[in-house]
Structure formats: C-alpha cells, structure tokens
Structure 1
Amino acid sequence: MMMYLFGLLMLLPLCFNNLYWLIQWFIFFFSFMFLLNYSSDFTVMLSSGYGMDILSFSLILLSFWICGLMMLASMKVYHMNNYYNLFSFVLLFLLISLYMTFSSLNLFIFYLFFEISLIPTLILIIGWGYQPERLEAGIYLLFYTLLMSLPMIITIFYLNNNFYLTSFLLMKMNLDYLYMYMFVNLVFFVKIPMFFLHLWLPKAHVEAPVSGSMILAGIMLKLGGYGLLRFMILFKSYLLNMNLFFMSISLLGGLIVSLICIRQSDMKSLIAYSSVSHMGLVLAAILTLNYWGIWGALLMMLAHGLCSSGLFCLANISYERVHSRSLYMNKGMLNIIPNLSLFWFLLISSNMAAPPSLNLVSEIMLINSIVGFSSLSMIFLSLISFFSAVYSLYLYSYSQHGSYFSSLFMFYSGLFREYLLLMLHWLPLNYLFLKLELFI
C-alpha cells in the first residue's frame, strides 16, 4: 500500500514545474498498476496499518480513475493559465487523502483523512467555481460535514478508551445505545446524502467547476457508503430498532427527490438531485444488512460514480458552448453535435438502469435486498424506478430535441479530448457488466 502512497507524494513537486499532462499520465499509470493488485481474499497488501479488501480496492481504483479524468475535463483551467499548477496540487492532495481514507485500517487515521478530503474539495469549489454563490455553497458543505462529524471522533475515543479498539479488523463488540448509533452514522448519512440532510449537495454541485462536480459525484458521496459498510458491524444487535426508520426516510426521500428532478430547469441541478435519489436506494440497501444489499450497494456506488461523473462532463461541455446550464437554452443539440448526443443517450440510458450498464445489475440487487426486508417497500421502489426513467428522458429530450435557441456563431464542434473523456466514463461502466464474477 505504501508503494502507491509514496508514488503520489513524489508527484507533488511536479505540480509546480508546469507538468500538468505528465501528472495526469502518472495517475492513469497508477490506476493500471493498481488494477493488477486485485485479489478476492479478505484483506491483502497489509502494511504499516494499511490494507484493502474488495470494497477498498474498488473505491481506490475509482478514485484514481476519476481524478485522472478530472484533469482531462479541466483543459480550460490549463489553457487559460488559471493557476493550473495549484489546481493539480489540490487535486493530487485530494487523491492522497482519499487513498488514505479507503486503505486505512486505523479508526483515527480513517477519521482524519475523511475530514481532510473536505478541504481540497472546498478549495476546488471556492477557487475555480463559476458563480459568486460558490462561497455560500462552500460554507454549506463545510458546516454540514463538520458539525455532523465531530460527534464521531468522541465515539472513536470512547472505543479506544473502553475497548482498546483502534483497528477495523478487531471490531467484535456490540454497541446498543441510540446516541452511539447516531454519533457514528450521522456523518455518513450527510455524506451519502440521506434525504433531509442533502441540502448541501445541489448547492455544491451547481456552483462547483466540472472537476469539483466529478469528484463530489464520483467519490465524495461514496465515502458515506464506505463508512456505513465498515461501521455497521458495531451495531448488529441494535440495528433493527433504527434501520426501519432510516430506510423509510431514504425510500420516501428518493421518491420526493425524483419528483423534484422533473421540475428542474438547471441541468447540473437535475443530475445532482438524481444522485440523491440513487444514493437513497444504496443507503436503504446497506441498512437491510443482507448479502444482496451489501454487494448491490458496492456495485451501485461504482456505477453511479462513473455515470454521474460522465453526465456532469456532458453538462459542462454544453455549458462551455452555450454559456448557460438552463434546459431552455440548451435545445436542439442533436442538430448541431449529433456525436455528443450519442453520449448523452448512452449515459442517460445507463442512469435510468437500462441494459447493459452496471446500474441495471446493481439496481436489481438493491431491489431484491429491500423487498426481501419488507414487501411494502415495493410501492416506493416501483415509483422511484419509474420516475428515474421519467426525469432521465426529460433531460435527454429537452436538451437534444427542439429548435436551437442561441446564435450558431458562438458554437464550436466537439473536441477529441471530450469524446475521449466521455468514452473513458462509459466503457468501464458497461465493461464491468461482463465481469460481475469479480464482485459476487
């Protein structure tokens, strides 16, 4: 594990030598090298308090991949000389903190880097965001996460003091206290995010640059799911008292958010709200505590990370041409860039869980898990699936069909870099469909 960590640390000095594309090449190189370390064993590469199982491996690989694509998507920062050295430094710092979070076996180190990953995200939003409201969005993000996560450090100190517990591998005790359950899990409910605690997400997404949106959708929401899967073992004797309550909120919230999506006129806002709906299903499935739910949650986190990140890239490509995120301004794209419309179709069909995407398999597993827990949840699940298709088709038809609104003189065609960026989102998303034996 230390090999990749030192590799990433050695890239930090390169940030200030105008080697933007070399750093991106190294990140992709690390992702391919890391791919060779796959093992189906419980925990591998144990070294210096770090290690990984299939859950950590998948999310670290996703972090490498999305961070490489973030640099590819942020060509504008490089071309306009908009502090791109600092940008690549912040991005690498974020990648290192995510790598440490997902690979750490120590509770305190996990918490420390879980919190540290917030800082570079905040710098990305405030430093390279588009609108003045980005300051408000950054404050929302900061205070939601910090206020909910401070009780968790108290729980970690309590576990260390009473049980001498500092490692994930030694979690054997039962904590059957309501306040302990809330202290540990509230921060993950905010990160995933659960309905009622999700208000920071649309604000942060809408004001963030494309790289900020990609990392938020691709990785930051997955920190919540990862933390829940790691810490749920502490509450195995107490869970049924609370899980039904939080599952109900997740499913009802997923339905309400799906209806909110249909009323959105801002493309980024619509994609951000759809993330809340999908991750609500993940949260409900994790709380069922069965085999289908845990594997379905992992697969949905991977699928959503790639799919949602790709959709934000598409929204940004349109924004760079039309200079508006409004669906009323982005009309008739099919007439002008039909190649790009193909990627809109492919990624939106994946977002609504059409075959052969990974989203389909993960959604089937999530539905199996939740219906197995309670057959009444079928009502909400069917409505969520239906409205997922409705807002996805609404986004596609509004943005691609109709008469073109703006002047043609402000338009330029798709670039090879953009098609490569979109293909690198779509290919893994659909190729993993063929390699499901890696996970099950």
Structure 2
Amino acid sequence: MMSLLMAILFLTPVCFFSLNYMVMQYCLLLLSLSFLFKGCFSFFCKVSYFMGLDSFSYGLILLSFLISSYMLISMTKYHWLCLFMMMNLILLIFLFIIFSSLNFLYMYISFEFVLVPLLILILGWGYQPERLLAGMYLFFYTMLVSLPFFILIMVVYMIFGSLFLDLLKFNNFSFIIHFVLMMVFMVKMPMYFVHFWLPKAHVQAPVSGSMILAGIMLKIGGYGLIRTMFMYEYTYMNYSFIWFSISMLGSFYVSLICLIQADIKSLIAYSSVCHMGMVIMGILTMTKLGLVGSYLLMLGHGFCSSGMFYMSNMFYERTSSRSFFVNKGLINYMPSCALFWFLFCSFNMSCPPSINFISEFMILSSMMNFFYNSSFFFVLISFLCASFSYYLYSFSQHGVYSNIYSFSSVNVMEFTCLFMHIYPLLMMPMIVSSLF
C-alpha cells in the first residue's frame, strides 16, 4: 500500500510539467489497473506501515481512482488546468489514506483535510457568486462536529494507549460518546436534518466538484460507520433505532422534495440524500445482508450519480441553464445522449440489471429483519425514487425545445466518459453473482 501511495505522490510533477491532461489521465488509469489486479483475497491484507487493505476499502479506493480520472475528462475546457490537476491529486492522496489507514488519527486528519481542496474546487471553479455561501455551509457543518470528535479521539488514546483500529474495543454505553461518534459521519453522508449543505455545495460546485462529492465524499461517512461499528457494537445495538428512524423518515421526505425541484443538479443532489439514507439503514441493521447491500449501494451510487452530474453539466454547457423549464426536448437536440440519460435515470431508481437493484433488495431484507413495518416505508421510498427518476428523464427529454435549431454536438471524449460510468454498473452484478 505504501508503494502505491508513493506512486501517487510522484505524479505531482506531471501536474505542472505536462501541457496535456491526458498524461495524468493515463497515469491514473494505469494505477487503477495495477490496484485492480492486486486484488483483495483475504479479510486483511497488503499491510505496510500504517496502511492496509480489506474488502471494504478495496472497492472504495478503486472507485476513488476511477472518479479522479473521470474528473480530468470533465474539466478539459476550464482555466488553470495545472492547478486543477494538483487539487485532484491532493484529493486522491487523502482519500487513499482515509480508505487504507489502520490508525484512527491518520484517518481523522485525512478525513478533515480533504475539505480544503474541495473548498478550493468550489470557490475557484464554481459558476456563481453564491458559491461563497455554499463553501461556508460545507465548512461550518464539518467543523461543528469535528472538534468533539477530535476530543473523543484523545480520550480514546488516554484509555487504550493506542489508536489502531484493530486494537480498539469499547464496552461503554454512554450515549454522548455514541452521539459524537455518529454525528461526524452522519454529516458527511449526509443524514436528514444535517443535509442542507449538500444541495448548496452541489449546485454551486463545478462538474468535477459534484462528481467527487457524489462519487466519493458521501461514501467516507458510510466507511467510517462500518469501521466504528466493529469496535463499538454494544452502543450500536442499543441506540441504532434512533438513526434508523430518522433516516427512514428522512428518505421519504427527501423523495417528496425531489418532486418539486426545478433545477436538475438540485434534484440529483437530493436523490443522493435519499440513497444515503438507505445506506445508513442498511448499515445500522448490523446484519451481513445489510452491510453488503449498503456497501454495494455506495459503489453503485458512486458511478450512477457521478455520471448523472456529468450529463447535467453537458446540458448546462449547451443551454446555459440547469432549469427544467429551459432543458426541455433534449431528445431532439441531443438524440445520441437520450439512451445514456435513460440508463442513468433507470439505474438511479434501481432497475435491474444494475448493482443498485441487488443492493436495495439486500437492504430491504435486512430492514424487515430489524423492524418489519419498515417495509412499508421502503415501498414508498422506492416508488417515489422511481417517480422522481421518471420525472427527471421525461421532463428534460420530452416537450418543445426552447431554441429553433436542432443538432447533436457531443464529442467522443464525452461519450467515452459516459460509457466509463455505465460499464461498471452493468459489470458489477456479474462479479457479485460469481462471488455468491
């Protein structure tokens, strides 16, 4: 793992001495291929210094490599490309440390520092002046919960004398400790009630910022829940019904909010809140089906939402608006993209054969095992997810286009990026079925 981290670090000169972003793109894809073929064939492997790898971190690190390479494709038309590549590389380094760290302190430092390059992306490449307010929301929501979490880490070190994740095992039933430990990850996911920063950040962020936010940043919270669940299981068993209930009702309310959105990016952002609520419910059931289902939903949502944000930016570049009232009749204007948009909207509402369908089926089984009546809420949430996904497709593709001319102006690079988002969503069900 340390060798892979050093390989990422030594890509730094490429950001400034290469006039072509494709060199960085090839390097990232080469690293992702080398990591893919290394594999993770045991519960805990590739241990080196303070880093290691298991089946949970393996998929998320691979997702980080792929989304980082997709970000480079999305930002080729923008200014300050060298600085952008540098921010992209810094984000990748700290995401790699988060998902492979064996030490709570290293994980916390990377967990908080990843906010800095993300803020630079939003403030430096955002579209409108409101990006300053969006950056402030993102900053203060994170800082509000990070200080109590840092104090908790110091208390843990004083009690155990170590911060390595495999040596920590709590027998404490204190709700305050549980609340501090949960809130720092719930804000990142985000859970309903602490989700208001996400639509603000998504709408004002550039397309690359939206892709990394939806593809990777929301998964940090789920990864943190999985890691802390194994060392703090007694309080999870006692208090998980609180977070389960909030997430269940929150996903239902957010699905209703999606149906009244007039902004394409805002609707996709709220749909991410809804799906992350389902991830929280699956993890908190503390069953194998729920855990595996939540993990697969995080991976599927990473590719699906990233692709949807990329396509919404394609519409924005051509119509100069993200409003549904302007982006109408796009099947006449960009007929070659209608199939991709249909597939992304279908996968967003968990249609087979995508990985989202398998993961939501697993989460439903675990939810019924935890609380039988939650199946009624799950049916409502699934129906509303299908409703706003159908609304997203039909309202943007059908109708009368606002301009008088009609032609398709999509280049090969954009088609390549869309296909690279779709392909893993179609291939992962085959891989999962072979494992089971």
Residue 194 (structure 1) aligns with: 191
Q: CA deviation at 1:320?
A: 0.3
Deviations 1:137-194 (Å, cap 9, x if unpaired)? 0010011011111111111111111111311111233231111101111110000110
Given the alignment, which residue of 420, 424, 427 partners 1:424? 420
Provide the residue aligned with 2:431 in structure 1: 435
Letter in 1 for 2:5: L
Cα RMSD of the aligned pairs, angstroms, is 1.2
Is the 1:205–1:216 contact (alpha carbons within 8 Å) kept by the matching residues of 2? yes
Q: Sort the Cα spacing of 1:19 and 1:5 in 2 relative to 1 into closer, same or farther, 3 A.
A: farther
Deviation for aligned residue 1:412: 5.5
Given that 2:252 and 2:377 are in contact with CA atoms closer than 8 Å, whether structure 1 keeps it comes out as: yes
Distance in 1 (alpha carbons) for counterparts of 2:41 and 2:432:
13
Residue 144 (structure 2) pairs with residue 164 (structure 1): no
Q: For residues 83 and 407 of structure 1, what CA distance do their matches in structure 2 show?
A: 35
Pick one of 106, 110, 115 that aligns with 1:113. 110
Amino acid aligned to 2:24? I
Rounded to whole Å, the distance in 2 between the matches of 1:139 and 1:276 is 19
> Partner letter of residue 415 of structure 1?
N
1:316 and 2:313 matched = yes
Matched, 1:123 2:87: no
One-letter identity of the residue aligned with 1:408:
Y
Q: How far does residue 439 in structure 1 lie from its aligned partner after superposition? A: 6.0
**Per-residue displacement from partner, 1:22-43 (whole Å, max 9, x unpaired)?**
0111001100110011123011
> In 2 relative to 1, CA 6–427 (structure 1 residues): closer, same or farther, beyond 3 Å?
same
Verify: 1:12 aligned to 2:12, yes or no: yes
The whole-number CA distance in structure 1 between the counterparts of 2:258 and 2:403 is 25
Other structure's SS at 2:171 match: coil
User: Partner of 2:24 in structure 1?
Assistant: 23
The structural deviation recorded for 1:74 is: 1.2
Contact 1:195/1:250 (<8 A) preserved: yes
Give yes or no for the alignment of 1:87 onto 2:84: yes
Shift in Å, 1:345: 0.4
Structure 2 residue runs of 5 or longer lacking an equivalent are none
Alignment of 1:37-52 (within 5 A): 37-52=38-53
* Contact persistence 1:176–1:235 (CA under 8 A): no
Instruction: Give 1:41's aligned amino acid.
Output: S
Quote the residue 1:239 is aligned against: 236
1:36 maps to amino acid: F
Q: 1:99 aligns to what?
A: 96
Matches within 5 A, 1:346-357: 346-357=343-354
Is the CA contact 2:300–2:425 (under 8 Å) kept in the aligned structure 1?
Answer: yes
Would the aligned equivalents of 1:191 and 1:221 in 2 still touch at CA under 8 Å? yes
CA contact (8 A) 1:266 1:327 kept: yes
Does the 8 A contact of 2:40 with 2:53 survive in 1?
no
* Alignment match, 2:70: 69
Distance across 2 between alignment mates of 1:401 and 1:256: 27
1:212 paired residue number: 209
1:294 pairs with one of 273, 283, 291: 291
**Superposed CA offset, 1:345-401 (max 9, x none):** 011111111111000001101111111101110111000000000000000000000
Code of the aligned partner of 2:201: A
In the alignment, structure 1 residue 358 sits paired with structure 2 residue 359: no
Give SS of 1:265's match: coil
Distance 1:96 1:63 in 2: 10
The 2-side partners of 1:438 and 1:111 are apart by 35
Mapped partners of 1:62, 1:39: distance in 2? 15
SS in 1 for 2:377: helix
In the alignment, does 2:58 pair up with 1:54? no
Paired letter, 1:230: R
Q: Quick one: distance in 2 between partners of 1:274 and 1:209? A: 18
Distance between the aligned counterparts of 1:234 and 1:50, measured in 2?
A: 18
Residue aligned with 1:169, SS:
helix
Measure, in 2, the Cα distance between the counterparts of 1:127 and 1:341: 31
Q: List per-residue Cα deviations over 1:84-121 (Å, max 9, x = no partner).
A: 10000000000000001110101100000011111111
Aligned length: 435
CA-CA distance at 1:407 after TM superposition = 4.2
Tell me the CA shift for residue 338 of structure 1. Answer: 1.4
Return the offset for 1:238.
2.0
After TM superposition, list the pairs within 5 Å mapping 1:352-431 onto structure 2. Answer: 352-408=349-405, 413-431=409-427
- Using the alignment, how far apart are the partners of 2:167 and 2:238 within structure 1? 24
- What amino acid is aligned across from residue 22 of structure 2 in structure 1? W
The letter for the 2-side match of 1:332 is G
Please state whether the residue corresponding to 1:130 is helix, strand or coil.
coil
Aligned to 2:162, the other structure's residue is in SS state: coil
TM-score by length of 1: 0.97
Contact between 1:247 and 1:283, CA under 8 Å: does it hold in 2? yes
Greater CA drift, 392-401 or 152-161: 152-161
For the pair 1:327 / 2:335, whether they are aligned, the reply is no
Match of 1:273 in 2: 270
Unaligned runs of 5+ in 1: none
**1:290-309 Cα distance to aligned partner (Å, 9 max, x none):** 11111011000000000000
Q: What is the percent sequence identity of the aligned residues?
A: 47
Stretches of 4+ aligned residues off by more than 4 angstroms:
437-440
- Once residues 171 and 109 of structure 2 are traced to their aligned partners in structure 1, the CA distance between those partners, rounded to angstroms, is 24
SS of the counterpart of 1:237? helix
Please state whether the residue corresponding to 2:234 is helix, strand or coil: coil
Equivalent in the alignment of 2:252: 255
Question: Which amino acid is 2:259 matched to?
Answer: I
Contact 1:329–1:406 at 8 Å: present in 2 too? no
Give yes or no for contact 1:134–1:208 (8 Å, CA) kept in 2: yes
- Kindly indicate whether the alpha-carbon contact (under 8 Å) linking 2:333 and 2:408 is maintained by their aligned counterparts in 1: no
